[in-house]
Amino acid sequence: MKKLVMMACVLLVVSVLAGCGNSSNAGENGEVYVFNWGEYIDPATLDMFEEETGIKVVYDEFETNEIMYPRVAAGASKYDVICPSDYMIHKMIANDMLQEINFDHIPNAKANIGAQYYEQAKEFDPNNSYCVPYCWGTVGILYNKTMVSDPVTSWSILWNEKYKDNILMQDSVRDAFMVALKLNGFSMNSLNEEELQIAKNSLIEQAPLVQAKVVDQVRDKMIGGEAALGVIYSGEAIFTQRENPDLEYVIPEEGTNVWIDGWVIPKNAPNVENAEKFIDFMCRDDIALLNFMYITYASPNTGAKALIDDDELRASKMDYLDEETREELEEFVDIVRDSQIAFPDLSQYDNLETFIYLGEDGDALYNQLWKEVNSAYGE
């Protein structure tokens, strides 16, 4: 009996190893190395891409721009496509790490991505030559209606003693300083030392009220009712509302960050042609819609918006979906069609900004101040 069990174990291990061996083979048309945010793509679209093009996708994830950058800059791992945010794209352009994208090879990027998003992207990519917008959104306050009695209209509610130990802040330097700078009426790209000191002091003053500093976890914590207020990306807000209807998302009146995450191709990309095919595929209207449904971050893809608005077009174009996915899609479309979070009317705000790269000295200054803030958190 013992021998049988042993044999079974050995067989299992061998078959698992053999399985690994097979899957690590390159696709018939080579590979594409993709480096993207965590949970920022529908895995089904990757399978579809592999099937349609015969290109194998090797997919890695990162949690923040700051974690992504050293891995790419050190050159330890070579990627073909990366999806950083605005200011990080700006920084990579400034440090000569990106190559210009040949838009002739990516027809869907020309046809489907809305002109206003390219316009917004000019703040960090002045000639629109390095980046194809993939997702965009705002940063705001997510609050639990059952736990917050005051009207939530301003960043200042995150400094309200009443919500001590019920506030979640973002654990990344630029987002945290954005909140404090905007609260004090400054630009979130400020390099003015005096303004930054004021912002730093605001954050230190806030520290005792904060329950935790988190990145991705804000979503789960807010859904679970762990905290009353959290600073969150608009895309996460749609997801959390779907899970917990008590949650509401607000763009504070002092203004906020309009961010864009976009596909870029690094200079040292080994498979540029496959990278272009990958970006083109992700810009296809139906693929963009599937990704929008999966990650709930707003898509700049006008084709996807057209599919949302036009039931017949959607039905004919996406007839390849299985029943279950189609039902899920219909449900999702009903939610987001008129959603102010997914498609906000931003014309009422005149204080929205997009992050830009602040240069090496600017980064160093922010990091130093951030360290002083972090140091104030411990008891």
Q: Are 139 and 234 in contact (CB under 8 A)?
A: yes
Select the residue interacting with other proteins from 4, 25, 70, 312 (CB under 8 A): 70
Q: Does 67 bind other proteins (CB under 8 A)?
A: yes
- 192-200, 301-309, 313-321, 365-373 -> range binding other proteins (CB under 8 A): 365-373
Q: Does 375 bind other proteins (CB under 8 A)?
A: yes
Rounded CA-CA distance 226/168 in Å is 9
Nearer to other proteins, 56 or 213 (CB): 213
Q: Does 372 bind other proteins (CB under 8 A)?
A: yes
Nearer to other proteins, 54 or 224 (CB): 224
- 1-9, 188-196, 302-310, 368-376 -> range binding other proteins (CB under 8 A): 368-376
Q: Does 60 bind other proteins (CB under 8 A)?
A: no
Please give the angle made by the CA atoms of 35, 36 and 40, to the nearest 5 degrees: 155
- 15-23, 37-45, 223-231, 288-296 -> range binding other proteins (CB under 8 A): 223-231
Q: Does 377 bind other proteins (CB under 8 A)?
A: yes
Q: Does 378 bind other proteins (CB under 8 A)?
A: yes
Query: Least distance (Å) from other proteins to the CB of residue 172?
Result: 8
Select the residue interacting with other proteins from 198, 204, 212, 356 (CB under 8 A): 212
Strands 132-144 and 167-170 come out as unpaired
- 69-77, 118-126, 269-277, 329-337 -> range binding other proteins (CB under 8 A): 69-77
Rounded CA-CA distance 40/262 in Å is 12
Q: Does 191 bind other proteins (CB under 8 A)?
A: no
Region of residue 134 (left: phi > 0; alpha: psi -120 to 50; beta: else): alpha
Site residues for other proteins, 225-254, by CB under 8 A, read 225-226
199 burial level (CB within 10 Å; 0-12, 13-18, 19+)? buried
Q: Is 349 helix (H, G, I), strand (E, B) or coil?
A: coil
Rounded CA-CA distance 98/92 in Å is 6
- 31-39, 109-117, 210-218, 342-350 -> range binding other proteins (CB under 8 A): 210-218
Q: Which one-letter DSSP state was computed for residue 96?
A: T
DSSP 223-243: HTTS-SEEEEEHHHHHHHHHH
Select the residue interacting with other proteins from 171, 254, 276, 285 (CB under 8 A): 171
Q: Does 213 bind other proteins (CB under 8 A)?
A: yes
Closest listed residue to residue 230, CA positions, set 184, 163, 185 = 163
The interface mask with other proteins, positions 285-314, x = CB under 8 A, is ------------------------------
Rounded CA-CA distance 118/334 in Å is 27
Select the residue interacting with other proteins from 173, 179, 293, 307 (CB under 8 A): 173
Q: Are 189 and 356 in contact (CB under 8 A)?
A: yes
Q: Does 172 bind other proteins (CB under 8 A)?
A: yes
CB atoms under 10 Å from CB of 342, counted, come to: 22
Residue 82 Cα distances to 104, 133, 161, 258, 259, angstroms = 19, 12, 41, 20, 16
DSSP 39-75: T-S-HHHHHHHHHHH-PEEEEEEESSHHHHHHHHHTT
Q: Does 346 bind other proteins (CB under 8 A)?
A: no
Query: Least distance (Å) from other proteins to the CB of residue 212?
Result: 3
- Interacting residue ranges for other proteins, rule: CB under 8 A: 64, 66-67, 69-70, 73, 171-173, 207, 210-214, 221, 224-226, 363-364, 367, 371-372, 374-375, 377-379
